[in-house]
């Protein structure tokens, strides 16, 4: 195992722990905007984790998964923003 893969695994661990904090905020957030921001953070973390996994396993086919997760995260954030804008908080 090379130093590159060890560092990559460490970065993935740090990102996963940070994502755990965002999940905590999503579950405990006192308001809908807090939960919307947490959801956006989770999707950003998920894209980063999948991208690092693609690099670690050297399978470029999985780049499509990164694109799909990015689009779904964007659509979810837009849906939550419209929900908040309509005043249903």
Query: How confident is the model over 44-66, as pLDDT tens digits?
Result: 999 999 899 999 898 888 888 88
Domain span including residue 46? 3-85
Domain count across the chain? 1
pTM of the model: 0.82
Residue 69's pLDDT band (cuts 50, 70, 90): confident
What's the chain look like in SS3? CCHHHHHHHHHHHHHHHHHHHHHHHHHHCCCHHHHHHHHHHHHHHHHHHHHHHHHHHCCHHHHHHHHHHHHHHHHHHHHHHHHHHCCCC
């Amino acid at each position: 195992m090379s130093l590159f893969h060890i560092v990559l695994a460490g970065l993935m661990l740090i990102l996963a722990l940070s994502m755990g904090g965002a999940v905590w905020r999503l579950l405990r957030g006192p308001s809908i905007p807090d939960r919307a921001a947490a959801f956006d953070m989770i999707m950003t973390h998920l894209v980063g984790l999948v991208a690092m996994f693609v690099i670690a396993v050297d399978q470029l086919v999985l780049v499509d998964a990164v694109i799909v997760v990015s689009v779904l995260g964007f659509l979810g954030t837009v849906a939550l923003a419209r929900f908040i804008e309509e005043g249903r908080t």
